[in-house]
């Protein structure tokens, strides 16, 4: 069944409309059209039809919905809730007037008299109305009460056929003409680089609404917020650090990834002094800043360095200790890091610690699954808070990595642009991805909206930074947001761009491929382009990824000559 709009927004105070909408959608035949909140202007007057049913070969019904307990005394209608009883305009008169306005408008728009059967109705989904009730101008059959509103289709049809004005059923061809007018379709030239900005602004607004989680957990000292990609964990981590700092506490805001560390530093850099954490950035930099010497080799960083930090922490003075710790991408922290970091706090056993993590993004896999076992170690005592909503990505993008994100994952963004898939051999993927980037710029995307991420060998631009040892410059250029970015999925955790070209040019370790794909597929906010071999992608991501990509738009980038 067609709905206008396809997914209506029912705000606060419109629960009754949503209930009746759902009942109609579930009970009407598939060839019907159901419209919500149809606004009509008739001369200087404005009207709104809560729900409009267009039933081919039957007719039309305009339905006014009133929630709460509805009553009538001496011709005056009342609406009651838990706190008050107030006078309201007659919903019958409202429905009658709005239907009359709709008929006038349609006749003007279509240039033809409306002879189809039409009826005005009232739905009272929380009020019982006796079967023998009647009043002037409103027979009982025009009222859908608490019982009738639960499965209203047959009652709506009876009302149209028995009470509706008009001489003939609603012809399917005439219905289609009405639908085109109601839909108000406006075809404009789409400039993706600008239209995506509105979607991303809405995503940011959704993310900010997550602050309710921080308020709800403010009395808990140790919490691990676990959520999938795009659930707003980094925003929450930064906001938590700000709230704690404003309380006069010495706060450390930590992460593992260098690119994410600089992003966090940029975020807090503009804050007033009383809102800033005393440290923001990579855990390793914090350790070095306390005087632990540099070392080399993974064993040094995972074992020896935290041991040295724990020894040093024993001699820290009270004013040098942290009152609270906030860790973003906490799944990347080695178990021994937690012990050493907590030793640097004023209360290692019960101090404030907040971990924001996604245990499905353990792409580094250095800890032998230790972070996934939350029943032991420092995080065993943390209160778990689950963040299931995906807010960063459009629905089209989120659907590609939904198989990796767990059963409770819920995309909440706008529908968005189709994901594009370029099927090519892995050894050609780097060149093809470069063509994709150029084609996107020709389409109208700004170069600083685009990131090209690889899964194996670095792009030549990325490789040049690496070989020159210019890591700091590399990340400064990214955060300056002045041009396209070339990176690897392993270094892009916690980061995002409007457009991501994911270049699947192989995997050094197939055991890590699934997690790398999860990160890479979830970095784009508005448009995702996947470049690679379909067989390799199925081997790495499974049949669910194959199915998701089968619904994508097959693309071959075409570049203008010259």
Residue 122 CB-density burial (10 A; 0-12 exposed, 13-18 middle, 19+ buried): buried
User: Where residue 508 falls among pLDDT bands split at 50, 70, 90?
Assistant: very high
Distances (CA, A) of 449 to 193, 195, 205, 493, 494: 8, 13, 20, 17, 16
| Nearest alpha carbon to residue 25 among 35, 14, 13, 37 | 35
How does DSSP classify residue 318? G
What average pLDDT does range 514-526 have in this prediction? 92
Predicted local distance difference test score (pLDDT) of residue 106: 87
By mean pLDDT, which of 35-39, 123-127, 181-185, 329-333 is the weakest? 181-185
How many Å apart are CA 124 and CA 95, to the nearest integer? 13
Predicted pLDDT of residue 363? 44
Q: Identify whether the C-beta of residue 352 lies closer than 8 Å to the C-beta of residue 381.
A: no
Average per-residue pLDDT in the chain? Answer: 87
Q: Is 125:143 a contact under the CB 8 Å cutoff?
A: no
Q: Is the pLDDT reported for residue 512 higher than 50?
A: yes
Q: How far is 488 from 456, CA to CA, in rounded Å?
A: 8
* pLDDT tens per residue, range 208-244: 767 788 888 889 999 999 888 888 899 899 999 999 9
The SS3 of residue 557 is coil
C-alpha 91/C-alpha 142 separation (Å) is: 11
* Higher-confidence position of 334 and 47: 47
The pLDDT tens digits for 399-444 are 999 888 877 888 887 788 899 999 999 999 999 999 999 999 888 8
99 pLDDT band, cuts 50/70/90, is: very high
554 vs 409: which has the higher pLDDT: 554
pLDDT score recorded for residue 435: 95
Q: Which two structure tokens, joined as six digits, stand for 274?
A: 């009383």
Comparing C-alpha atoms, which of 258, 336, 343 is closest to residue 299?
Answer: 336
What's the pLDDT score for residue 204? 64
Q: With 80 as the cut, is the pLDDT of residue 536 above it? A: yes
| Radius of gyration from C-alpha coordinates of the chain | 30
Residue 169 has pLDDT above 60, yes or no: yes
In the predicted structure, residue 187 carries a pLDDT above the cut 50:
no
Q: How confident is the model at residue 516 (pLDDT cuts 50, 70, 90)?
A: very high
pLDDT in the model for residue 190:
46
Kindly state the tokens that stand for 234. Answer: 């980094």
d(CA 290, CA 377): 24
Report how far residue 453's alpha carbon sits from residue 476's, in angstroms, rounded to the nearest whole number. 17
Check residue 188 and give its pLDDT: 44
What pLDDT shows up at residue 341? 94
- Predicted TM-score (pTM) of the model is 0.62
Confidence of residue 305 (pLDDT cuts 50, 70, 90): very high
Determine the pLDDT at residue 36.
Answer: 92
Token pair for residue 394? 């459009």
| Residue 297 or 266, more confident | 266
> What pLDDT is attached to residue 364?
43
Helical pair 305-313 and 335-342, crossing angle rounded to 10 deg? 20
State the pLDDT at residue 250.
96
53 Cβ neighbours under 8 A, 6+ residues apart: 24, 28, 32, 33, 34, 60, 61, 63, 156
> If residue 48 lies in a helix (H) or strand (E), which one and from where to where?
strand 45-55
Note whether 401 and 522 are within 8 A (CB): yes
Rounded-to-integer distance, Cα 82 and Cα 59, Å? 37
- Residue indicated by tokens 């064993």: 299
pLDDT at residue 562 tops 50 = no
pLDDT band of residue 14 (cuts 50, 70, 90) is: confident
pLDDT at 332: 85
Using alpha carbons only, give the angle 348, 354, 355 rounded to the nearest 5 degrees. 110
User: pLDDT of 253-282, one tens digit each?
Assistant: 999 888 999 999 998 988 888 889 999 999
Instruction: Please state, in angstroms and rounded to a whole number, the distance separating the CA atoms of residues 329 and 260.
Output: 9
């Amino acid at each position: 069944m067609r709905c206008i709009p396809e997914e209506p927004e029912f705000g606060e105070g419109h629960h009754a409309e949503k209930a009746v909408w759902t009942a109609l959608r579930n009970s009407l035949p598939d060839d019907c059209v159901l419209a919500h909140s149809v606004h009509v202007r008739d001369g200087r007057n404005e009207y709104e039809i809560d729900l409009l049913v267009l039933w081919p070969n039957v007719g039309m019904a305009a339905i006014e919905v009133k929630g709460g307990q509805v009553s009538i005394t001496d011709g005056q209608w009342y609406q009651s809730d838990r706190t008050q009883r107030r006078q309201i305009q007659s919903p019958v008169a409202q429905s009658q007037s709005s239907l009359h306005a709709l008929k006038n408008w349609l006749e003007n728009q279509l240039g033809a008299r409306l002879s189809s059967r039409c009826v005005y109705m009232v739905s009272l989904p929380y009020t019982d109305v006796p079967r023998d009730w009647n009043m002037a101008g409103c027979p009982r059959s025009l009222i859908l009460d608490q019982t009738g509103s639960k499965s209203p289709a047959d009652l709506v049809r009876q009302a149209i056929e028995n009470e509706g004005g008009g001489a003939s059923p609603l012809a399917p061809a005439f219905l289609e003409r009405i639908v085109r007018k109601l839909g108000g379709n406006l075809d404009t030239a789409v400039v993706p680089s600008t239209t995506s900005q509105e979607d991303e602004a809405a995503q940011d607004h959704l993310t900010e609404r997550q602050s309710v989680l921080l308020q709800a957990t403010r009395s808990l000292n140790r919490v691990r917020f676990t959520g999938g990609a795009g659930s707003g964990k980094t925003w929450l981590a930064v906001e938590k650090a700000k709230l704690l700092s404003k309380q006069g506490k010495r706060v450390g805001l930590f992460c593992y990834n260098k690119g994410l560390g600089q992003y966090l530093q940029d975020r807090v850099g503009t804050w007033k002094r009383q809102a800033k954490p005393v440290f923001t950035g990579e855990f390793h930099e914090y350790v070095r800043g306390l005087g632990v010497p540099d070392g080399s080799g993974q064993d040094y960083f995972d074992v020896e360095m935290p041991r040295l930090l724990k020894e040093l922490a024993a001699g820290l003075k009270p004013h040098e200790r942290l009152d609270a710790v906030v860790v973003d991408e906490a799944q990347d922290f080695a178990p021994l890091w937690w012990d050493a970091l907590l030793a640097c706090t004023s209360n290692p056993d019960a101090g404030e610690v907040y971990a924001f993590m996604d245990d499905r993004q353990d792409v580094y896999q250095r800890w032998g699954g230790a972070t996934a076992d939350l029943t032991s170690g420092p995080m065993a005592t943390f209160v778990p808070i689950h963040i299931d909503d995906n807010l960063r990505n459009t629905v089209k993008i989120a659907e590609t990595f939904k198989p990796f994100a767990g059963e409770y994952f819920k995309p909440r963004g706008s529908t968005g642009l189709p994901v594009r898939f370029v099927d090519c051999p892995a050894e050609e993927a780097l060149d093809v991805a470069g063509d994709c980037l150029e084609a996107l710029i020709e389409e109208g995307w700004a170069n600083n909206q685009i990131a090209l991420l690889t899964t194996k060998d670095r792009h030549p631009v990325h490789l040049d930074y690496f070989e020159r040892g210019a890591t700091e410059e590399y990340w400064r250029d990214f955060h300056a947001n002045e041009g396209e970015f070339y990176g690897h999925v392993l270094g892009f955790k916690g980061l995002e761009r409007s457009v991501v070209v994911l270049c699947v040019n192989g995997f050094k370790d197939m055991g890590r491929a699934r997690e790398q794909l999860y990160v890479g597929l979830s970095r784009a906010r508005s448009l995702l382009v996947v470049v690679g071999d379909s067989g390799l992608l199925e081997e790495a991501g499974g049949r669910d990824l194959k199915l998701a990509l089968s619904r994508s738009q097959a693309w071959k980038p075409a570049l203008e000559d010259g």
